[in-house]
Chain A
Amino acid sequence: MNELGRILIVEDDPKDVELTLTALEEYNLANEVVVTRDGEEALDYLYCRGNFKMRTSDNPAVLLLDLKLPKVDGLEVLQQIKSDEKMKMIPVVVLTSSREERDMVASYKLGVNAYVVKPVDFHEFVNAIKELGVFWAVINEPPPGSVRKNN
């Protein structure tokens, strides 16, 4: 594995953040992870504004997006990204607790690239995160303009 795409995690629950990072660490996928804690912060990151004014303007290789978020919720973030010419190529994976069909349908209608329900079982959770990380940050060729880092 020479290159590792940057993973942007949008997750408000600190415990979920910790568990996700732990899972990624376990497979050495955690070195290019950015965590934002609500929809607004995620958009700030993507549009290089607010706290992220100074960052380089390249896009993450993948966005792991929770749906229930403070301020701007996950579906709104998804809608903004997918309706923006510059952003819509970023692969977005919805990673949520909810198995509700309407969330799933709404996400796919907005053009989500994958929809993953977080398993309760930790092993399964770790596996899911691992597979997501490996697929999107390593195997998948991201669209032009994404950050890749030599490992």
Chain B
Amino acid sequence: MRVSNAGKGMWKPEIPSRGVTSVILRYGFAVLSVSIALGTALLLSRYNFPDVADPLFLFAIATSVWYAGRGPAILALVLGSLANSYYFIEPIYSIAITHSDIPHFVVFILFALLITGFAAIRRRVEQGLREARDKLEIEAAERTQQASLLNLTHDAIFVRDMGFVITYWNLGSQELYGWTAEDAIGKQSHQLLQTVYPMPLDDIRAELLRTGRWEGEVNRIKADGTHVVVASRWSLRRDERQRPVAILETNNDITERKRTEEAIRKLNEDLEKRTAELASINKELEAFAYSISHDLRAPLRHMAGYAELLQKNASSILDEKSRRYMTMILESAKRMGDLIDDLLAFSRIGRAETQKTVVSLEQLVKEALSEVQQETDGRKIDWRIGALPNLYGDRSMLRLALVNLVANAVKFTRKRVQAEIEVGCTDGKEGETVVFIRDNGVGFDMKYVNKLFGVFQRLHRTEEFEGTGIGLATVQRIINRHGGRIWAEGLVDKGATFYFSVPKS
């Protein structure tokens, strides 16, 4: 395992100097050793112990090398040699040496060098050993720390050897699978967890050896017997000689995610099915509407046409009653024609695509007014049109909605000598425009407000106010298709107000 940078920083390789640290102290130690050796040798020679100078100086050199290092040892060697030569080797009190003493002196120096060398090597070895020991200690501390870190993570992490025998098992693994480290270590992983792999194990192994990694979803069984789906990531560990030795595996529990995914997939499938069904129903509906449009109006037209011709040709021989019958037939035919047209328009709004643009409400109201002109001619209507904003929506649909609402207001104020119709704009919720159309017409009972927007729902008798009962349903459908709301307020004989809202964008 690599020693991390932080670990390196914590570890300072110090030179072990056994108490003699500074240069002065170390060289002083050498001088002192040699001085003590010299003093002792001089003292002993005074008491007739000859030839102790050599071993004493060697001892001083050895002590210096041992405790103060190589530099002080060389100083001790030089000082010792000089002192030896000066005090103990003939001629005494001179650093010169006689010819016969040269071998003795050379051997002394060589021996001193040897001791120095040995001591230096020993020191180096000792230092190396100490460093190695410190390194090991740090590494051991780090490994312990990392192992406890692995235990902190929520992910399940475990290590297997190449025979799939578990050698490490973190706390996350225990939480996920319910087996403790004691249960797991030493067991074969796929026996313990009854793993079902998404592909043949040999293929996984091949990929792992080739790329050093493998990722996939595996099914396993926990200690309590429940199934679990995990996202599994494998990393191969190799030794220094690149032989695969272990597999580190990290797992995340994705059972819940898989269940949700499956649910979403199923929902999507259902939705697709429903959409297809709806599309086919819509198509049928379209064909139905098309057929009504073409085929249902033709016989109606014929009925009306022939009744009209009959009325013209036979009116002289028909009595009053029969003529009224003819009129009724014609009126009914016309009413059915209107119903068909309104119904088709209503169904078309449900099917047509909305094409939204910025639409001037003022312009739409103008167009609606000109559309109802036939009914307003000769009537006294006080139009109060406020400042009108732009709307965002499908122009032709919004136009149809406004024409319907304005036509309604005109229709239901018919009995007023002075009709008042107001079109304006009011504050709605944030992000929507609210438009209202208010009249002083016959109004309605709020009890029936829910019936107002239903298809074929009418609150007045036909002979009172004509109509197919589709107009407001059409308006509601248009507003709904714009994502807006429509509502109404009214009082019997006190007028009605219709509101609709359209989102601003």
Q: Which residues of A contact B (CB under 8 A)?
A: 13, 15-16, 19, 22, 67-68, 96-101, 118-123, 125
Contacts and interface: CB of A to CB of B under 8 A. Distances in A.
B293 to A, nearest CB: 5
A106 to B, nearest CB: 12
B308 A97 contact: no
B90 interface: no
B283 interface: no
A123 B309 CA distance: 10
Contacts of B341: 99
Contact of B301 (A22, A68, A120): A120
Contacts of B293: 97-100
Nearest to B307: A122
A101 B351 CA distance: 12
Contacts of A16: 298, 301-302
Contacts of B333: 120
A100 B290 contact: yes
A99 B344 contact: yes
Contacts of B348: 101
Interface of B: 289-290, 293-295, 297-298, 300-302, 304-309, 330, 333-334, 336-337, 341, 344, 348, 352
A123 to B, nearest CB: 7
Contacts of A13: 298, 302
Contacts of B294: 67-68, 96-98, 100
Contacts of A100: 289-290, 293-294
Contacts of A15: 298, 302, 305-306
A101 B400 CA distance: 15
Given A68-B294, A99-B341, A118 B301 contact: yes
Contacts of B297: 97, 118, 120
Contacts of B337: 119-121
Contacts of A125: 301, 304-305
Q: In the A-B complex, list the 7 residue pairs whose CB atoms are closest, starting with the nearest.
A: A120-B337, A122-B308, A15-B302, A19-B305, A122-B305, A97-B297, A98-B293
Nearest to B299: A15
Given A120-B334, A121-B334, A97 B298 contact: yes
A19 B302 contact: yes
A125 B344 CA distance: 20
Contacts of B306: 15, 19
A97 B309 contact: no
Nearest to A20: B305
Given A99-B293, A121-B304, A122-B307, 11 more contacts: A16-B302, A19-B301, A97-B294, A98-B290, A98-B293, A100-B289, A118-B297, A121-B334, A122-B308, A125-B301, A125-B305
Q: Which of A13, A15, A122 has the most CB of B within 10 A?
A: A122
Contacts of A118: 297, 301
Given A99-B341, A99-B344, A120 B304 contact: yes
Contacts of B298: 13, 15-16, 97
23 contacts: A15-B298, A15-B302, A15-B306, A16-B301, A68-B295, A97-B294, A97-B295, A97-B297, A97-B301, A98-B290, A98-B294, A99-B344, A100-B289, A100-B293, A100-B294, A101-B348, A118-B297, A119-B337, A120-B300, A120-B301, A121-B304, A122-B308, A122-B309
A68 B296 CA distance: 13
A123 B308 contact: yes
A96 B344 CA distance: 16
Nearest to B302: A15
A72 B136 CA distance: 98
